[in-house]
Amino acid sequence: MTRPALSSAFILASASPRRLDLLKQIGVIPSAVDAPHIDEAALPRELPAAYARRIASEKLAAVHPRHAGAFVLAADTVVALGRRILPKAEDAVTARRCLELLSGRRHKVIGGIAIAAPSGQSILRVVRTDVVFKRLSTAEIERYIASEEWHGKAGGYAVQGLAAAFIPSIAGSYSNIVGLSLSDVYAMLTGLGFGE
């Protein structure tokens, strides 16, 4: 879809360069990026979808009051294996453990998206994508760890990079796995009157 950039004031409440790049694909260019600083620890026994919904809502609540008159988008991405939320991999040990858990299994990537309009109206949506990983050999895991592509990624992998070789099947939004379901964001923004 080729379209001009939409012109309404728009704030991205995320420091993720992947989300910024994704939005640019659909012509949504943020006026500014204002990353929220909230506690993202999961609550005891919190399920993945509830966590994604809560964190997206809290990010929006932290940033929206600072930008009167603008649309604000906040999001969170969770990689879940059953009821278990996998961490963002900040070190090789965590990344390796995530890959070992995902190897040969189906998991869910759950995206929480929260958008507020200048009117104060807001929309919250949770998007689910099912992802299948092939069985990984120790050598494949170690090569991926050596790439350092996993750093800062939920579940310890990036579908848009080398890990694409590990994924034979996806059901749902591909861009949700990268960090933001573009079809959902577009529908939510237009539903709130963005760009009119």
Structurally, how many domains does the chain consist of?
1
Checking if the pLDDT of 32 tops 70, the result is yes
In-domain check, residue 14: yes
In-domain check, residue 89: yes
What mean pLDDT is predicted for residues 165-174?
Answer: 98
In-domain check, residue 59: yes
Q: What percent of the chain has pLDDT over 70?
A: 95
pLDDT at 145: 97
In-domain check, residue 118: yes
Look up the pTM and report it. 0.92
| 21: annotated active-site residue | no
In-domain check, residue 161: yes
In-domain check, residue 187: yes
pLDDT at 8: 65
pLDDT in tens, 93-133: 999 999 999 999 999 999 999 999 999 999 999 999 999 99
Which residue, chain included where needed, has tokens 């990689």?
79
DSSP states of 22-81 as a string? HHHHTT---SEE-------PPPTT--HHHHHHHHHHHHHHHHGGG-TTSEEEEEEEEEEE
Three-state DSSP class for 127? strand
- DSSP single-letter state for residue 88: B
pLDDT in tens, 79-89: 999 999 999 99
- Which residue in 21, 34, 39, 76 is the catalytic one? 76
In-domain check, residue 5: no
In-domain check, residue 84: yes
- Residue span of the structural domain in which 183 resides: 10-191
Contact in structure between 66 and 34 (CB atoms under 8 Å): yes
User: What is the domain-level CATH number for residue 126?
Assistant: 3.90.950.10
